[in-house]
Amino acid sequence: MDLFSKLKDKKILLVDDDEWIRDSLTVYFGTEGCHILAVGTAEEGLELLKQQDYDIILLDYKLPGIDGLTFSKKIQEIRPDAIKILITAYKSKEVVSEARNAGIQDLIDKPFTIKTIEDSMSRLIQRNEKEMKLPAVSGRGIQKP
């Protein structure tokens, strides 16, 4: 099954202050039949997340107001099971570490290609599907002697 078949029942939220990125990704994914909504600030994104569930959230690292990592932490509180992909031109070991701690599952460097976004989404959707198929672990866990 291809990516767009899997995305048909998913809602995508894009949060980036770059209008060109918002317009380009919205047109591309919208043309493919995906439900995508794009906004320019984390504050707008939070309002949308309170109103509706989104399955995939693409967010920029540097945003006006609330930054991408703080936004990701807030997403974790509202929608912890959502796929979160951080788009950044400021990738460093610190940013990667902070992003992982904030619940980000993938980082994409700017500039990026549509294929990079598609590959990331595909990989993370596949990973989530596999995790959902894993049997629940029962038992008492580790016990002290």
The values of phi and psi at residue 54, to 5°, are: -120, 140
- The domain of 35 spans 3-128
Q: Which spans in 1-145 are helix H? A: 3-7, 19-31, 42-51, 68-78, 93-101, 114-133
Residue 145 lies in a domain: no
Average pLDDT value for residue range 56-69: 96
DSSP secondary structure letters along 79-117: -TTSEEEEEES---HHHHHHHHHTT--EEEESS--HHHH
Q: What is the number of structural domains in the chain?
A: 1
Distance (Å, whole) CA 91 – CA 98:
11
Count Cβ atoms below 10 Å from residue 134 Cβ, excluding itself. 7
Residue 135 lies in a domain: no
Average pLDDT value for residue range 80-98: 93
Residue 86 lies in a domain: yes
Quick one: angle between helices 42-51 and 68-78, nearest 10?
10
Sign of the CA dihedral running 72, 38, 115, 127? positive
Distance (Å, whole) CA 79 – CA 83:
9
pLDDT tens sequence across 114-132: 999 999 999 999 998 887 7
Residue 134 lies in a domain: no
pLDDT tens sequence across 42-60: 999 999 999 999 999 999 9
CATH number, residue 74: 3.40.50.2300
Spacing of C-alpha 37 from chain mean position: 13
Residue 143 lies in a domain: no
At 135, the pLDDT band (50, 70, 90 cuts) reads: low
